[in-house]
């Protein structure tokens, strides 16, 4: 299967792409060796081994940084906490205009361990109210939000949005089934509406400031058009 994976930046040290939703970054012991993964696809296209500098969940799309050597991956990983990372999400309800979500999260692989610090900054970009009952209310509200990671816990954005009762649309683990079904059946979008839109990264060798932006896919464009949010993401 041929996947459209736009390249945002490439040189001898790093390869930065716009990851499509629904594709793994790399295979694990729990996945089939035949399942497509970004690392294998881009390795085959570039003819060299690649190393992920960070994680993106399978259903999440957007900016993904790959290193062309283990040394570059280690440098990128060390500077990751200081790297500005901006996501967008569609969530249920009207969120506050701005909110710092400071909610510690437990390790998903070791739920007995103490919760770790986890901080996300939320800014509301747009809202819509529909004259249609989806859940128990006669009208339905959604927000388009900008989310900035201040820490990097597993599933942090998805878990944090759930913690403030504004789950991300399309989230089959932490979301709300009725709203996911509405988007699937009425809007025609079944993916998780979480996208790594842009980031600022210091090049690991030259120190050059890289400003990267991954344009949202067709499903996102459908939602933005349907809710008249087309201008909300203008740079």
Q: Which domain holds residue 30?
A: 7-226
CATH code (residue 103): 3.30.2350.10
What local confidence, expressed as pLDDT, does residue 80 receive?
A: 86
Q: Which residues pair with 210 in a beta bridge?
A: 201
pLDDT tens digits, 47-103? 899 999 998 999 999 999 999 999 999 999 998 888 999 999 999 999 999 999 999
**Measured on CA atoms in the order 221, 222, 224, 225, is the torsion positive or negative?**
positive
pTM listed for this prediction: 0.94
Query: Would residue 232 count as lying in a domain?
Result: no
The catalytic site residues sit at 57
Question: What domain count does the chain have?
Answer: 1
> Considering the domain boundaries, does residue 231 fall inside one?
no
Kindly state the helix (H) or strand (E) to which residue 16 belongs, with its residue range: strand 14-19
Span 182-208, average pLDDT:
95
2 inside domain: no
Dihedral in degrees, nearest 10, Cα atoms 176, 172, 174, 130: -30
* Residues with Cβ within 8 Å of residue 207, at least 6 apart in sequence: none
Per-residue pLDDT tens over the stretch 92-111: 999 999 999 999 999 888 87
The per-residue pLDDT for range 118-131, each reduced to its tens digit, is 999 999 999 999 99
Closest CA to 166 of 97, 218, 229, 82: 97
- Chain segment 203-214, per-residue pLDDT in tens: 989 999 999 999
pLDDT category of residue 146 using cuts at 50, 70 and 90: very high
1 in a domain, yes or no? no
| 20 belongs to a structural domain | yes
Given a contact cutoff of 8 angstroms between Cβ atoms, the answer to whether 13 and 67 are in contact is yes
Q: Which residues have CB under 8 Å from 169's CB, separation 6+?
A: 89, 90, 91, 92, 142, 175, 179, 180, 183, 192, 193
Q: Please check whether residue 235 lies inside any domain of the structure.
A: no
């Amino acid at each position: 299967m041929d996947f459209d994976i736009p390249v945002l930046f490439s040189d001898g040290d790093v390869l930065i792409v716009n990851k499509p939703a629904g594709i793994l970054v790399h295979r694990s012991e729990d996945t089939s060796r035949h399942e497509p993964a970004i690392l294998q696809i881009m390795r085959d296209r570039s003819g060299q081994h690649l190393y992920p500098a960070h994680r993106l969940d399978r259903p999440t799309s957007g900016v993904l940084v790959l290193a062309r050597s283990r040394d570059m991956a280690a440098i990128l990983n060390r500077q990751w906490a200081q790297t500005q990372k901006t996501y967008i999400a569609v969530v249920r309800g009207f969120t506050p205009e701005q909110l710092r979500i400071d909610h510690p999260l437990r390790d998903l692989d070791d739920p007995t361990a103490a919760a770790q610090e986890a901080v996300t900054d939320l800014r509301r970009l747009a809202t819509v109210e529909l004259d249609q009952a989806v859940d128990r209310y006669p009208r339905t509200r959604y927000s388009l939000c900008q989310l900035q990671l201040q820490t990097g816990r597993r599933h942090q954005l998805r878990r944090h949005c759930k913690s403030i009762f504004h789950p991300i649309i399309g989230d089959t683990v932490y979301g709300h089934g009725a709203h996911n079904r509405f988007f699937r059946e009425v809007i025609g979008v079944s993916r998780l509406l979480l996208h790594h839109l842009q980031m600022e990264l210091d090049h690991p060798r030259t120190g050059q400031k890289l400003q990267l932006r991954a344009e949202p896919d067709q499903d996102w464009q459908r939602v933005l058009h349907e809710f008249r949010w087309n201008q909300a993401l203008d740079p």
